Structure 1
Amino acid sequence: MREAMTDRVADWRLLGLGFWQAWQIVAMCTDIVAPTSGKLFDQGNALLILLVLMTAAYLAVVVASRRYAPFAGRDSSYVLAAALMAAGTLAMPVALHFLEGIVGIGVFVMAAASASLGNALLLIMWGELWSALATGRVGRHLYASYTFAFVLFFLIYFMPQPVAVMATTLLPIISTAVLYACRHEPRREPSVVPLDVHTIPVARLLVCLFIISVIWGLTQGIVGTFAEGDEFHMAKSLLLAGGGIGAITLSMAVTSSPSEALTLYKPVIPAMVAGIVLLLLQPAVYPFLGSGLIIMGVYCLDMLLMLVSTDIAFRGRIPVALSFGVAILTTRAGTLVGSVVADGFLFAPFWTAQLRTDICLVAVLLLAIIGMLFFTMADVQRLYVTPRAQRTDESLEQKCAAVAAMGHLTNRESEVLVLLARGRSVPYICDELSIAQGTVKHHVSNIYRKLGVYDRQGLLDAIEQGGVGRSALA
């Protein structure tokens, strides 16, 4: 019972990422933090400047990671991230509403730079935690965190402007405090299936991420032309996106998936393609349907990046801030490029509805090509398989025994390992071994931690491949 209670407390703490994501949604999808109706900038320019500074902030954190990573190991990093984000969040709307001229612009830029740097640092630290978690429910925690973020967002969205600003200012402080409380979460040991990072087509995957992000920035820049006059368009789009992510969260809680990475990847391309097609088919009826699907697809991509890039860093023995930071920097740079291009199109004399249609069709074509040829389900799966010479004369029990010895599993954990390898569920294991469900979950968590994996697919790979060759623990 005590172990089950501990698991539930840990689960709630891991929702702390949702406070960071709620800040991101408020800052980039509303005018609460960066009002477009202030005195200093024309429509949209404040958000574009914020996006430029965010991209620069991730670059700065990636560069700094070579000397200071892991950031989560330093108490000063928590204070710095919370202070920079909170101060910048509070100062941006103040500068836009109450200051004028060069002074106002200077204060806004400094505030935006402060919030952006804190934002990048805080997310990288969450990635450092995520990379080493011993739980087998990492992907579900990510989805639950993002679903929680949408709940927080709508609570803030309907607040009066001054109250909403103060609430948004508190989000990074709470997220940092929760992250600090997670420092002693169970951490996994080095994987028994070490990853050779040289086998990963990094350049190809980064190019695909960049192109997808350019399409995201481009479509978000021009989507307003589909919904002119609808002041609640973005709110309705986010409600649809949040509902979709919430539905996936519920399905992941009810049914277990061998590979959470594949579950995260599945909606990305289909949701974005369907969203753009819906915008073209029904441009004046329900544009929020298309926009919401696009947002859902991109947020699923963000979660996939956090899950995969941090796990690759852990198994490849490279700094999380470098692996995860480069992936996020690539997406932020792509979003910036797409947003700048969209801004240029909208104010160009040759902008027409036909050009808008052509851009959307090209975007659909590029997404389809990427999903079919360059960034497929098979590519995601290969990130978790390290080719090794297999011995076909070994039984499943022998392979499990070899892996159990490598991971120094207890006798009871070895028994649970064999049942997991046979595809048995937690309730089945409870009945088979006559132990409580909380105890089984505790054993499963310990197995994941000791073998250095985070989901069922990784465990199966460890059994099939880790039982032969040299152990990563040696």
Structure 2
Amino acid sequence: MSDFVSKVEDSVRPRHLGLGFVWAWIYCAFSTSALFAGRAGSSINADSSWFASAVAVVGCFFVFALAWRRVDMLRMRPAAFVGTVLMAAGTFFLGAFGLPAWVGTLCGVASGIGSGLLVLFWGDVYSRLETERVEIAVPAASGAMLACSFIFPYIQGLPGVCGVSSLPILSMVCLYLTWNDIDAGRFVERPSEGDPLRAEVRVGLCMSAARGSDASRRYGHGMRFSGMCARRDENPQAPQGKALAFLVRISVVLFAAYMAIGVASATGGATDAFQAAYGFDAATMLGSVYGVCLAFWFIFFSPRVNVPALLRWVAPLIIIGLAAIPFSGMAPEFVASATMSVADTVLQIIAFLSLVNLARAGVFSPAFAIGVGQGMIQLGVLVGNLAGKWSALSTTSSGYGLWETSLVVICVFSVAMALAPSDRNMGGIGLRYAGGLDDADSMGAGELPVSQGGSAASERALHAFEVEGNGLLTQEENLDGMVARIAAEGGLSARETEVLGYLARGRSQPYIRDALVLSKNTVASHVKHIYQKLNVHSRQELLDLFAN
């Protein structure tokens, strides 16, 4: 537990948690009475302007996913400031003034577009930061939403309106500070993540390629280096068809899951029976806390941090929540609200991490990966809210509706689960580990080969690779011999020796845990024991052992 706390303290920077303020805005604006004191329902049922906002955010994600699919979003920073102004101003005017319907619709559209832009920019910056740091920052960011769940349900009037309107501004401040980190080269993925033993070779080749020298012609015209010369907007060697199929399948699953969550949200009121009786929203609070804890547990102890793996745990909760919807009373309402809160919170975190990893792999640009995935999530919420609203009205008028809707949504979700991609679908599209290609077979002929310690094609390519007259590149068997000797001297176990081999090749912990199918916590424990037994205190000190 102390190791976990120390890792969180070392990894988390408050400025990297700004995405949480966008999530908090969604919760406060759509699920509390902070903006509309007379709220009679939730989400788009509360006010007609929020239907416009829900439609606008869906359109924003899909439009910018296509428009910015080949754009470096760091060059588009003014759009983030525009989005913040739209989001904050639209929220304030909606809550503070009694506006005509058409003006309220425009404010809803503005807030929807603004929230979509901020989410896209946060996805972009997370794809640039260190993987280990992002895997802590994203679930920690949900702490902002948790804090708001304890505060905003009980704030109404102008203080509530001002509080909700300030959330996008706080997110923009954090985004600006994170941009400064990226510009200064702090907390970003380093080129040496691939293999520092050959870092000097790579730097020389990158410089030669930029100048168009003989080295560039020798090793391939127009070659791209994975994480070496510059950040890739896309990876032309990766099979785009497989990658697109993976994105479509995962988006369909997210759509179905959030349609179920949207139905549950729309069929419930702003205040459930438990909250009316005891004065606080216990279901949402407990569900959100448990969801964050489950996300942290999944990240640290699961070998696969992706949506398909997570759904094996979350799918039963969604089914239970849907089954509880048709029943009335305190217990069924509490079960439906709590289970959906758990599913919403943990899916929100893991889905965003999965989309960021897809962007980090270089298969798609961040705008495209995040835009398509988040667009399908918001479309699912919109469709679910409409279906829930219709079923609630049908129940009132004819006595039917909730049962039928619940059954249909369960069937749709079950079919979507059958279409969910498996781990086998992730190989060969840049998702075998966060931040690179999966093996040498995925590289172009002109790329610098990088050994994974297990791919025959990679091994052959490494032995065939030569750099004239510099003596920097050692033979793979020499490195293996050094690993075996150092491991024996330090008394490492067989698994620790295996991990040491990856570390000696400059592999990151996310790479190692994917290659060996181990959890984040298990790999971290092995690395800690290796450092202790070899009496080193940093990655550089460990690499120095192999430079002697």
Same fold (TM over 0.5): yes
Match of 1:428 in 2: 529
* 1:23 CA displacement: 0.8
CA distance in 2, matches of 1:274, 1:42: 24
Task: Tell me, yes or no, if structure 1 residue 197 matches structure 2 residue 240.
Answer: yes
Match of 1:146 in 2: 142
Equivalent runs, 1:125-204 vs 2, <5 Å? 125-183=121-179, 184=182, 185-188=186-189, 189=191, 190=226, 195-200=238-243, 201=245, 202-204=247-249
* 1:326 CA displacement: 1.4
Judged with a 3 Å threshold, the aligned counterparts in structure 2 of structure 1 residues 430 and 152 are, in CA distance, closer, same or farther, namely: farther
**What per-residue deviation string (whole Å, max 9, x for no partner) do you get for residues 271-329 of structure 1?**
21122234457755241222221132133333233222232233234321122101111
Match of 2:519 in 1: none
Judged with a 3 Å threshold, the aligned counterparts in structure 2 of structure 1 residues 391 and 180 are, in CA distance, closer, same or farther, namely: same
Please report the TM-score for the alignment, with normalisation by the length of structure 1. 0.74
**What per-residue deviation string (whole Å, max 9, x for no partner) do you get for residues 95-121 of structure 1?**
3xx34xxxx223322222221111111
Match of 1:261 in 2: 306
Equivalent runs, 1:397-416 vs 2, <5 Å? 398=476, 414=504
Number of residue pairs matched? 420
* 1:177 CA displacement: 1.0
Match of 2:336 in 1: 290
Quick check: 348-357 or 22-31, which moved more?
Answer: 348-357
Quick check: 167-176 or 52-61, which moved more?
Answer: 52-61
Judged with a 3 Å threshold, the aligned counterparts in structure 2 of structure 1 residues 79 and 48 are, in CA distance, closer, same or farther, namely: closer
Match of 1:319 in 2: 365
Judged with a 3 Å threshold, the aligned counterparts in structure 2 of structure 1 residues 341 and 154 are, in CA distance, closer, same or farther, namely: same
CA distance in 2, matches of 1:256, 1:285: 32
Match of 1:33 in 2: 35
Match of 1:61 in 2: 64
Structure whose CA Rg is larger: 2
Long gaps (5+) in structure 1: 403-410, 447-474
Please report the TM-score for the alignment, with normalisation by the length of structure 2. 0.65
- Which is bigger in relative contact order (C-alpha 8 A, separation at least 6)? 1
CA distance in 2, matches of 1:334, 1:66: 22
CA distance in 2, matches of 1:213, 1:425: 37
Judged with a 3 Å threshold, the aligned counterparts in structure 2 of structure 1 residues 218 and 251 are, in CA distance, closer, same or farther, namely: closer
Conserved? CA contact 1:62–1:321, under 8 Å:
yes
Match of 2:200 in 1: none
**What per-residue deviation string (whole Å, max 9, x for no partner) do you get for residues 250-276 of structure 1?**
5368x4443332665444323211222
Q: Match of 1:47, as an amino acid?
A: W
Judged with a 3 Å threshold, the aligned counterparts in structure 2 of structure 1 residues 47 and 81 are, in CA distance, closer, same or farther, namely: closer
Judged with a 3 Å threshold, the aligned counterparts in structure 2 of structure 1 residues 239 and 305 are, in CA distance, closer, same or farther, namely: same
Match of 1:374 in 2: 419
Conserved? CA contact 1:278–1:290, under 8 Å:
yes
Task: Tell me, yes or no, if structure 1 residue 114 matches structure 2 residue 110.
Answer: yes
Q: Match of 1:313, as an amino acid?
A: A
CA distance in 2, matches of 1:182, 1:418: 22
Judged with a 3 Å threshold, the aligned counterparts in structure 2 of structure 1 residues 112 and 165 are, in CA distance, closer, same or farther, namely: same
Match of 1:218 in 2: 263
Judged with a 3 Å threshold, the aligned counterparts in structure 2 of structure 1 residues 14 and 349 are, in CA distance, closer, same or farther, namely: closer
* 1:10 CA displacement: 4.9
Secondary structure of the residue aligned to 1:258 is coil
Long gaps (5+) in structure 2: 1-5, 192-225, 229-234, 433-437, 442-454, 461-474, 481-500, 517-522, 544-548
Conserved? CA contact 2:65–2:372, under 8 Å:
yes
* 1:248 CA displacement: 2.0
**What per-residue deviation string (whole Å, max 9, x for no partner) do you get for residues 111-152 of structure 1?**
222211111111000000112222324333221211332113
CA distance in 1, matches of 2:147, 2:508: 40
Conserved? CA contact 1:85–1:119, under 8 Å:
yes
Judged with a 3 Å threshold, the aligned counterparts in structure 2 of structure 1 residues 415 and 164 are, in CA distance, closer, same or farther, namely: same
